[in-house]
Amino acid sequence: MDERAILHRYKATRWALITGLISIVLWFQYDLFFNHIIRWDFLIILTVMVIAKLFARFYYMKKN
């Protein structure tokens, strides 16, 4: 497989992750400040995303 395709896929996945994180955080903040509701499902999703990102980072750092 071409290295450029792998890099484009990596960048697309990274931008998708960043966009998802920002939208979940903004939605959580909106519910917290305007509706006075703490949405625990958003916090759980954010925690899982951060743990997966850190796990992948350490895995690939160790692999190289």
What's the mean pLDDT when you consider all of the chain? 81
Name the domain count of the chain.
1
Alpha carbon distance 51, 62 (integer Å)? 16
**CA-closest candidate to residue 26, choices 12, 46, 50:** 46
Q: Which domain holds residue 15?
A: 3-63
Under 8 Å between Cβ of 27 and 33? no
**CA-closest candidate to residue 49, choices 59, 37, 57, 39:** 57
- Tens digit of each residue's pLDDT (9 = 90 or more) over 8-22: 777 777 887 888 888
What pTM value is reported for the model? Answer: 0.60
